[in-house]
Structure 1
Amino acid sequence: MGTRRTPLPGVGTQCDRTGASVAAVLRRTGVHPSPGPDVRLATGDTPVAAGTRDGVEALAAIVAGG
């Protein structure tokens, strides 16, 4: 079974859109600070977001595919 990867919204684009940004992605292999639009989320990754509550919730919905 392969690792599922999904696009991670670009930091600048999603900050403009939601008021929140992805500050880092935590993986078993390490931390990826300030991820760019080329970074993909894999099963088990934990995105770390910064922003207002509403902004972080909107960003979470985007990352979840909503």
Structure 2
Amino acid sequence: MADEEPVDPKKYLEESCKPKCVKSLLEYKACFKRIQGDETGQKHCTGQYFDYWSCIDKCVALKLFQLLK
């Protein structure tokens, strides 16, 4: 038992939560598509990116703390 590497359950939980955050992901992808031709570098999709990961983090938090020892 001592030889085994600990497994991080967060990665697994993130994958299982991604389907619940499809709306945020689609908004991020739509923004990315809109700004693809921007040559100035002024436009960005940071807000949509953080909205997507915030959704995933909220979903993961509900399950993750139950698994931690």
> Could you tell me the TM-score, scaled by structure 1's length?
0.25
Q: Which has the higher strand share?
A: 1
- Which of these two proteins has the greater Rg computed from alpha carbons? 2
Higher relative CO (Cα under 8 Å, sequence separation at least 6) belongs to 2
What TM-score does the superposition give when structure 2 sets the normalisation length?
0.25
- Return the structure number with greater helix share: 2
